[in-house]
Amino acid sequence: MITMIIQARMGSTRLPEKIMKNACGKPLLQHLLERVQKSETVDKIIIATTTKHIDDVIEKFCKEKKINFFRGSENDVLSRYKLTADYFNSDVVVRIVADCPLIDPKVIDKTVNFFINNNYDFVSNCYPLPRTYPEGYSVEIFSKKLLDELYFNAKKPSDREHVSFSLWMQPEKYSAYRVDYEKDVSHYRFNLDYHEDYLLIKAVFEALYPNNPHFSMEDIISWLDLHPESFKINRRNPSYENILKSFEEDIKQGFISNGAEYFKT
């Protein structure tokens, strides 16, 4: 069974409760679900949230919308994925983050199909770097067997928080493949981390959703090319800030970390 596990929480420090912010009369988490439900390769979709009280609202949302969900550790996201995959009997895991409400199901299916039809441990459209897809379009795919291995072997805080990081940082051990777009559009940013990101995402939905609820990544880029003032809304927001902070935690706990150098190259 191919299961899509979407990690989601309300407790973001940079933009609290961001996934429940509104666009076109719906919370962004609902928009995300409506988009990924158009995927033709995924058998089951699950929201993996935390056991913290603040995330009770996500459980309530999932129950109202009849969406599968699981609750686990906030910071040990690797364990949250492992336990979710255990509970739902996953064979293959498609990892999505709720920070990506504009993700395109065609991008998901392209990446899943490559994983199915080839022999790699890990297939993604964002790692290993450099990526060609925009931030906010990240898809990662790996087997449940490999997820179990990472769960039992990963020790660093960064490895526990970012799930697949230890995998693609060990190319001598694991085979990883990055699916690319036909051209480099990585200068676009559709990730939901800051208020400026929300303003851009909201503007995209308000412009495109009323006439075509299932607009594509190409539709977004075409619209932004015609509205360069919108493209500039979140241009100065930093990339990979949360990942870089996790490497600082590695060092605090006595681990040697070369992750920061990887993201700065």
CA distance 110 to 218: 15
Q: How many CB atoms lie within 10 A of CB 205?
A: 22
- Which stretches in the chain have pLDDT values below 50? 260, 265
Domain of residue 253 covers: 2-264
pLDDT at 229: 81
Q: Is the Cβ–Cβ distance between 201 and 15 less than 8 Å?
A: no
pLDDT at 167: 85
pLDDT at 74: 94
CA distance 40 to 125: 18
pLDDT at 259: 53
CATH number of the domain that 181 lies in? 3.90.550.10
pLDDT at 257: 59
CA distance 180 to 35: 21
Q: Could you give the percent of the chain with pLDDT greater than 90?
A: 74
| Number of structural domains in the chain | 1
Q: What is the pLDDT of residues 219-262, one digit of tens each?
A: 999 999 998 887 677 666 555 555 655 555 555 555 565 554 55
